[in-house]
């Protein structure tokens, strides 16, 4: 089995949703591979709902380069996938190659992680029907209208699917996802 794991991003991907699992994968001996619509540098953001606000405040975060664009991803070369959050999933979910990639990981039962707005990608790809997931509450509709069940918990595990609500849940769902990747690697 491959040691490579895909991390799906686009412009306005949430920095902590992305970088925490990126480095945790490295610690576990995996190679995180960043995939995005095209091969270039992407601007990440920081999101937080301030106590006195009813909407999300956004700041510029770090930048991250795409290693392989969606159109060039060969799914069989990867052990698992992470759908990062932020605003990016709302815009990139319509990419036909990303839909193909998403369906592969769900269909082949490889470990899948999703956080925050990341749910918008597997929801659009029709991969959440009958599945339980955590996501940011404002994406509950996206999940439910596509046949999934919203669970307001820091870590929801449904078969090969590991999900959290926001970056605040990184310490809850990323570890079990990496353990699933390790278990799959150890079997091969």
Q: Strands across the sheet with 13-14, in order?
A: 13-14, 41-48, 57-65
Q: How far apart are CA 169 and CA 87, in angstroms?
A: 18
Domain that holds residue 21: 4-187
Coarse DSSP helix, strand, coil percentages of the chain, rounded to the nearest 5 percent: 40, 30, 30
Q: Report the 10 Å Cβ neighbour count for 50.
A: 9
What angle, 0 to 180 degrees and rounded to 10, lies between the N-to-C axes of helices 170-187 and 15-27?
40
CATH number where 170 lies? 3.40.50.880
Q: Where would I find the H helices in 64-148?
A: 88-92, 96-107, 120-124, 140-145
Assess whether 168 carries a catalytic annotation.
Answer: no
Count CA within 13 A, CB hemisphere, residue 46. 5
Per-residue pLDDT of the chain (188 residues; tens, 9 = 90+): 689 999 999 999 999 999 999 999 999 999 999 999 999 999 999 887 777 777 777 789 999 999 999 999 999 999 999 999 999 999 999 999 999 999 999 999 999 999 999 999 999 999 999 999 999 999 999 999 999 999 999 999 999 999 999 999 999 999 999 999 999 999 87
3-state secondary structure of 48: strand
Number of structural domains found in the chain: 1
3-state secondary structure of 55: coil
> Global pTM?
0.95
């Amino acid at each position: 089995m491959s040691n490579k794991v895909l991390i799906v991003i686009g412009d306005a991907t949430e920095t902590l949703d992305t970088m925490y699992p990126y480095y945790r994968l490295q610690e576990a001996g995996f190679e995180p591979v960043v995939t995005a619509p095209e091969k270039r540098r992407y601007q990440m953001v920081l999101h937080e709902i301030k106590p006195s606000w009813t909407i999300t405040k956004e700041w510029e975060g770090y930048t991250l380069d795409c290693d392989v664009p969606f159109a060039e991803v060969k799914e069989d070369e990867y052990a698992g996938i992470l759908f990062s959050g932020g605003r990016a999933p709302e815009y990139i979910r319509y990419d036909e190659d990303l839909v193909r990639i998403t369906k592969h990981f769900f269909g082949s039962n490889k470990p899948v992680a999703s956080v925050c707005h990341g749910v918008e990608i597997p929801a659009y790809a029709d991969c959440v029907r009958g599945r339980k997931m955590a996501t940011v509450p404002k994406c509950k509709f996206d999940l439910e209208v596509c046949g999934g069940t919203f669970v307001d918990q820091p870590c929801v595990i449904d078969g090969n699917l590991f999900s959290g609500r926001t970056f605040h849940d990184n310490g809850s769902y990323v570890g079990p996802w990496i353990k699933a990747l390790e278990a799959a690697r150890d079997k091969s």
